[in-house]
Amino acid sequence: MEAYCPHCHQALLWQQGNLYHCEACHKTYQQVALCPDCNKPLEKMQACGAVDYFCQHGHGLISKKRISLRYTEQA
């Protein structure tokens, strides 16, 4: 899955875990998965190598295909 910088729209370089780096901005971004129904951050659940996303606001398990990704700047 390609990741793009929210500021300059260049492709981000994956660092580790949920962290991505933009060479143009010299900034690190954290990838956050959002619920497509309520736009709130999803809880990431990892089991047996599979990743599931869970909405704690009443929408239950969300398929990986439906999540929206946001990149937030690391302080």
d(CA 46, CA 17): 12
Q: Can residue 8 be called a binding residue for Zn ion (CB under 5 A)?
A: yes
Return the residue of 57, 64, 68, 73 that touches Zn ion, per CB under 5 A: 57
66 closest CA partner among 36, 46, 42, 43: 36
Length of the chain counted residue by residue:
75
Q: Can residue 61 be called a binding residue for Zn ion (CB under 5 A)?
A: no
Q: Can residue 21 be called a binding residue for Zn ion (CB under 5 A)?
A: no
3 closest CA partner among 75, 48, 17: 17
Asked if 40 and 54 count as a contact pair (C-beta separation under 8 A), the reply is no
Output 7 or 49, the one with its CB closest to Zn ion.
7
Q: Least distance (Å) from Zn ion to the CB of residue 38?
A: 3
Q: Which residues bind Zn ion (CB under 5 A)?
A: 5, 7-8, 22, 24-25, 35, 37-38, 55, 57, 59
